[in-house]
């Protein structure tokens, strides 16, 4: 006797082009964002400023969206990395405004150059770095880098 699972696999047509798909990274993110924007529960130490005894550090279970955490982490790491490139940088400031739904991250270091990309004169470097996935100045393995993540 053939199991129903084996039968369904063996009895399918040979139209693999209808069955299997290859997606570019952006298409995969757009089509299956639920694989990236996953809600997670995690127990961590946090500052509890509303405690009766005054502000203190307590262990709490938090619920967060992992994709948003990764975005914040990437922005913060980029700001820290900028310090390695620019010794005149002196500060990193962040502000999370829940009422407005905004996250702001600023540093006083050198910014991204505002000029056209030498490999494609039709695109400016900021458009490239913020608008195309997997674009970075960290892919040159011959450069020494110090980097980190949360």
Phi, psi of 124 (to 5 degrees): -85, 150
- Per the CB < 8 A criterion, the answer to whether 92 and 104 are in contact is no
- Contact between residue 25 and residue 7 where contact means Cβ atoms under 8 Å apart: no
| Model confidence pLDDT, tens digit, residues 108-121 | 999 889 999 999 98
Please state, in angstroms and rounded to a whole number, the distance separating the CA atoms of residues 91 and 101.
23
97 touches 110 (CB < 8 A): no
pLDDT tens per residue across span 84-133: 889 999 999 999 898 998 889 999 999 889 999 999 989 999 999 888 88
pTM greater than 0.75:
no
């Amino acid at each position: 006797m053939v199991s129903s699972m084996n039968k369904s696999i063996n009895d399918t047509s040979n139209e693999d082009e209808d069955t299997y798909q290859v997606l570019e990274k952006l298409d995969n993110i757009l089509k299956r964002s639920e694989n990236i924007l996953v809600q997670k529960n995690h127990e961590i130490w946090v500052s509890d400023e509303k405690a009766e005894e005054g502000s203190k550090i307590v262990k709490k279970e938090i619920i967060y969206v992992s994709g948003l955490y990764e975005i914040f982490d990437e922005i913060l790491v980029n700001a820290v990395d900028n310090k390695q490139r620019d010794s005149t940088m002196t500060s990193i400031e962040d502000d999370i405004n829940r009422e407005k739904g905004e996250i702001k991250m600023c540093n006083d270091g050198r910014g991204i150059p505002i000029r056209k990309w030498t490999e494609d004169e039709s695109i400016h470097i900021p458009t490239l770095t913020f608008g195309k996935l997997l674009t970075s100045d960290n892919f040159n393995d011959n450069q020494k880098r110090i980097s980190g993540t949360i």
